Amino acid sequence: MKKFTLAFFLLSAFALTAQTTHNINWFVGATPGTLAIEQGDTVNWIWTDAAPHSVTSDAGATDTFDSTILPAGSDYSRVFNDVGTNPYLCLVHPSMVGTIEVNVLSVDENETLAFSFYPNPVIDYLNIDSVEVIDTIQLYDISGKLLMDAPINNKKATVYLGVFKSGVYFVTVQSGDSKRSLRVILE
């Protein structure tokens, strides 16, 4: 069984500063479209005209949020932790709309090693060895749909994937403030 090692970014040392903050100018006529971000990123809406606005999640959003209606000069920040799609609007000016698309964290193989996982491709069992206690493991399909959310509380984890069909999956390993996604292929 070939053992694959993977880079793992220890957010505990860097807190959340490694995450990205995305700014959106929020004004009458603003249609910022779809902004694609990664899990844990912050979106900051900045009121840039003289009107009051809100940033309010619309029907079908993965997360529910509402800045309430705030006066000119305000801003509103939110961290998006859940993979999904979040249409939003301004309650004062319903033509002000946009969407935040939250994707799984990308895998960066140039970062410091902190855990290994094997085998990849997976036939049935995926094994993860971590230097830190793993709190939870989440499994997502390629569309970002959450398939499994399991408590681990151990440095080693074995996840049975045999019930799922062949394809590409993302496994998110959470340890304290650290979170990392693995791309695995299930045969």
Binding site for Cu ion (CB under 5 A): 53, 90, 92-93, 96
CB-based burial label for 10 (10 Å; 0-12, 13-18, 19+): middle
User: Which residue, 52 or 119, has its beta carbon nearer to Cu ion?
Assistant: 52
User: Which residue, 93 or 155, has its beta carbon nearer to Cu ion?
Assistant: 93
Find tokens 């309650």 and name the residue: 91
- Of the candidates 143, 139, 141, 144, the one whose C-alpha atom is nearest the C-alpha of residue 173 is 139
CB of 20 to Cu ion, least distance (A): 25
CB of 84 to Cu ion, least distance (A): 24
Q: In what order do the strands lie in the sheet with 33-38?
A: 33-38, 97-103, 84-89, 56-57
CB of 30 to Cu ion, least distance (A): 8
User: Which residue, 93 or 183, has its beta carbon nearer to Cu ion?
Assistant: 93
User: Which residue, 53 or 179, has its beta carbon nearer to Cu ion?
Assistant: 53
CB of 181 to Cu ion, least distance (A): 35
Q: Are 89 and 134 in contact (CB under 8 A)?
A: no
| Number of residues assigned to the chain | 187
